[in-house]
Amino acid sequence: MDELFNSTFQYILLSFYGIAVFTAILFYGKYKHTVLKYFVWILIYTFINEVSAKYVYYWLEFNAIMYNVYNTVYFLYFFYVFWNFIKSKTYKKWIVYSVILFLAVTIVNVITINAFHESLLYSYITGACLIIICIILYYVEILSDSRVLHIKEDLLFWISIGLLLFYVGYIPIKISRSFFTTNMDVFVTLYNVQRALIIVMNCCFIIGFVWTKKR
């Protein structure tokens, strides 16, 4: 029964990845004039990475390098997105400093572990925390100008909600699984919560693609 549940949950998860990609392509015309035009490729990359990682692990018994590369690309892309959307010069400088810090931690993390077989834990936590800070800066700025009047029609607003909900929920899970969790039942439960958070995040992306208006 547990194996059936796990398999079903995994297919549901992949379905949401696929729906997000399909919706991004379907409504591409709404946001193709912004830096979010590359987001569709990030979603396609995500879907391909998730599917192929399962097979790579089956054949090689490791796939950490795939996620390490993916997470690095993912974080750098969103630093770029928020740097472009945010107007404040001070906030832009903070994002540049965030990129420098993230890259420094990533380089040190790569040097100190075998990145082919182990997750870049410190790089991931640093990147996730810095993205949360970028999201907060973006919210602070849009709440203080006219963009707040059309916030529900702003694609980045919905993407940011999805990212925020996921990282706020997943960072404690990532830390717990890496340092504290030894019980397999707890590990499985945390993994299922992680997958639920991914589904919620993709739902936010999908809502954004549907509701957003071209500006």
Kindly give the confidence (pLDDT) of every residue in the chain, 215 residues in length, as a single tens digit, with 9 standing for 90 and above: 456 667 787 889 999 999 999 999 999 999 999 999 999 999 999 999 999 998 888 788 789 999 999 999 999 999 999 999 999 999 999 999 999 999 999 999 999 999 999 999 999 999 999 999 999 999 999 988 877 777 888 999 999 999 999 999 999 999 998 887 667 778 888 888 999 999 999 999 999 999 987 76
Distance CA 170, CA 168 (A): 6
Cα 170 to Cα 26, 120, 163, 175, distances in angstroms: 29, 15, 10, 9
Cα(135)–Cα(116) distance, integer angstroms: 30
| Domain residue limits, the chain | 2-211
Per-residue model confidence (pLDDT) at position 1: 46
Give me the pLDDT at residue 2, please.
58
Q: Which phi-psi region, left, alpha or beta, contains residue 61 (left: φ > 0; alpha: ψ -120 to 50)?
A: left
The confidence score (pLDDT) of residue 60 equals 81
Spatial neighbors of 202 by CB under 8 A, at least 6 apart, are 16, 17, 19, 20, 162
Burial class (CB in 10 A: 0-12, 13-18, 19+), 30: buried
Q: Do residues 127 and 76 lie in contact, with contact meaning Cβ atoms separated by under 8 Å?
A: no
Percentages helix, strand, coil for the chain (3-state, rounded to 5) are: 85, 0, 15
Separation of alpha carbons 63 and 118, rounded Å:
9
For residue 64, count CB atoms less than 10 angstroms from its CB and return exposed for 0-12, middle for 13-18, buried for 19 or more. Answer: middle
Query: Which residue in 198, 163, 183, 149 sits closest to 19, CA to CA?
Result: 198
pTM over 0.75: yes
**Half-sphere exposure (Cβ direction) of 53: Cα atoms closer than 13 Å:** 18
Contact (Cβ atoms closer than 8 angstroms) between residue 209 and residue 155: yes
